[in-house]
Amino acid sequence: MAELKKGLGFFQLLALGVAGLIGSSWIYTNSKFFDKYGAGGMIFGMLLGGLLASCVALAYSELTTLFPRAGGEVVYSYVGLGRRASFTTGWLLIGAYLSSTAFYVTAFGYLLEKIWPNLGSVSLYSVNRESVDMTVLIIGVVLTLIIAAMNWFGVSLSGQIQTVLFVAMVVIGLALVVTALVTGSPSNFIPPYRADANALGDTLRFVVPGMTYMAGFGLVAALAEDADIPARKIGRITVLTVLTATLFYCLVLASSAWILPWQDVAKMHLGTIDAYTTAGFPILGWGAWIIAICGLLTSFLGLFMAISRIVVAMARARLLPEGLAAVDEKSGAPRRAILLTTVMTLLLGALGPGAMLWFLDTGGIYLGLVWIIVVITLSALPKKYPHLRSKYHAGWLPWVGAVGALVTVVMAIWPGTNTSLVWPGEYLVLLVWAVIGFILWRLAKPMGEDEALGSLLGSYADGLKENLGEVEQTPARS
């Protein structure tokens, strides 16, 4: 089985991970969240959500150290729990990541409306009472094809572009934070909750969306085979990705509640963007808008890459058609998987922002379930392969994140909670995705477990039969 080209260094993989987590909507919708939960509710809830996600990331770190292979969770769950769990994990991941890439198809055009207010003026059709504009859709199609082209010519180009965008976001974010500290006031932030609010309740209510903001850190594991660094460092990057993204989110959000009274920001249309413009820093207002654009592009690129690698992993074990695992010899890119990812993204993206609300909400459930499966896998491995241990042990902390994920999933599925899915559309999306997955599962052609593990793990498959306590020291290129 052909291997993916190893073109990512330490900083590039970290940039892909962190920038893939930092999306776009948070920086201009924070005004709505400030209004609903208070600045403290959003910021402290985001912090708690990030810490819970980092607990799960500890499990990813240990598993990635043992098995730095394309597809991440698909590989781990096959090794620890078997074929059925691996297919379930992969299908959930595709659904989760695809919901985001499809959202970006039209989201980019709507962000551009800040520059060109009349950009969206030709409505083609409506889905869930939201119109799909022709110009916005064309822009989204072109952007998707550009993202696909970046992947088509190999991972090195994508990594370089992602690194540049990541650095741009960090520099602008630091400018926002420093300006707020110098010209703002702590009195704008304190008290961080409304006088009549339940501070603890508002904070805990934002933990659920706070965890979903961290949902894409698994792409580091999915891209592990593309990395030209030791496996143990890849594992560390997984945790570092979550902690860095959490810090970035909280600092930038806090800056918008420091530069002006957060109660005023809560009444604004574009959150941080309007806050800095109103405070007399229009250039930084545009800087916040650039973060939104960069966040969209980096998330799009990172999750697009992750989907294609998940498809490759599933195809290697014949959980999807085996031909999708093909890798181009010259570029080292999985071009058939890239084509499939492009088609799926465009088909769902064409449904427009109305349908995307359904997909994004259900995507959070998929990711919560995947987190739980990964933690269970980590616990199951020592029982199945007692000799297979890395020097790094996550301990009991991953279960804290798994419990948080379970609460998130239950609150979303259970009717009547603050985060319940919308009836009937979002429940229907869950059902349809499950039915499609069941059909694909029935159509898949099984292969022997030894053959599947050999295909998924490559040279790392030897560690399942030998006492390889030093697995994490094996270079990623081997």
**Residue 465 has what pLDDT?**
64
Tell me whether residue 130 is in a domain.
Answer: no
- Mean pLDDT (the chain) is 85
pLDDT number for residue 172: 95
pLDDT (tens digit per residue) in 282-321: 999 999 999 989 888 888 888 898 899 999 999 999 999 9
Q: How confident is the model at residue 1 (pLDDT cuts 50, 70, 90)?
A: low
Q: What is the pLDDT of residue 478?
A: 33
* pLDDT tops 80 at residue 4: no
State whether residue 288 is helix, strand or coil: helix
Is the peptide bond between 191 and the residue preceding it cis, with omega within 30 degrees of 0? yes
DSSP assigned state of 458: G
Asked if residue 356 has pLDDT above 80, the reply is no
CA distance 391 to 418: 42
Digit-coded pLDDT (tens) for 432-463: 999 999 999 999 888 888 888 888 888 777 77
Task: Return d(Cα 387, Cα 372) in angstroms, integer.
Answer: 24
In a domain, 125, yes or no: no
423, part of any domain = yes
Radius of gyration of the chain (CA): 22
pLDDT over 90, % of the chain: 36
> Does a structural domain hold residue 343?
no
How is residue 329 written in tokens? Answer: 């010899």
Mean pLDDT of 55-81: 88
In CATH, what number is assigned to the domain containing residue 75?
A: 1.20.1740.10
Number of domain units in the chain: 1
What's this model's pTM, rounded to 2 decimal places?
Answer: 0.86
For the CA atoms of 427, 428, 432, 434, what is the dihedral angle to 10 degrees?
20
Q: At what angle do helices 134-152 and 282-316 cross, to 10 degrees?
A: 60
Between residues 112 and 40, the one the model is more confident about: 40
pLDDT for 471: 40
pLDDT on residue 196? 86
pLDDT digits (tens, 9 = 90+) for 236-253: 888 899 999 999 999 999
Question: 405 is in which domain, residue-wise?
Answer: 18-99+167-325+351-445
Q: Is residue 106 part of a domain?
A: no
pLDDT of residue 473: 40
pLDDT at 121: 75
Residue 155 is assigned to a structural domain of this protein: no
Q: Tokens 């916005």, residue?
A: 136
Q: Which amino acid is residue 67, in one-letter code?
A: F
pLDDT tens profile 385-425? 877 665 456 678 899 888 888 887 888 888 887 667 778 88
